[in-house]
A and B are shown apart, each in its own frame.
Chain A
Amino acid sequence: MAPVATPFFFYVLSGIMLIGGILVITRKNPVHSAVALILTLLAQASIYLMLYAPFVAGVQIILYAGGIMVLFLFVIMLVSIDRSIRERQFNSQRVVGIIAATALGGLFIAVYTKGKDIFPDHVLPIVENDNTQKIATMLYGQYMFAFEIASLLLLVAIIGAVVMAKKRI
Chain B
Amino acid sequence: MESVLHITTLHYLVLGAALFLLGVIGVLTRRNVVIVLMSIELILNAVNLNLVAFSRMWGGLHGQVFAIFVITDAAAEAAVGLGILIAFFRNKETVNIDEVNLLKW
Binding site for B on A (CB under 8 A): 6-7, 10, 14, 17-18, 21-22, 24-25, 27, 30, 33-34, 37, 40-41, 44, 47-48, 51-53, 55-56, 59-60, 63-64, 67-68, 71-72, 75-76, 78-81, 83-84, 87-91, 93-94, 96-98, 100-101, 104-105, 108, 112, 116, 119-124, 126, 131, 134-135, 138-139, 143, 146, 150, 153-154, 156-158, 160-165, 167
Contacts and interface: CB of A to CB of B under 8 A. Distances in A.
A156 B60 CA distance: 31
Contact of A7 (B7, B20, B24, B53): B7
Interface of B: 4-15, 17-26, 28-32, 34-35, 37-39, 41-42, 45, 48-49, 52-53, 55-57, 59, 61-62, 64-65, 67-69, 71-80, 82-87, 89-90, 93-98
Given A24-B38, A25-B35, A119-B8, 6 more contacts: A21-B19, A24-B42, A71-B78, A119-B57, A153-B72, A165-B87
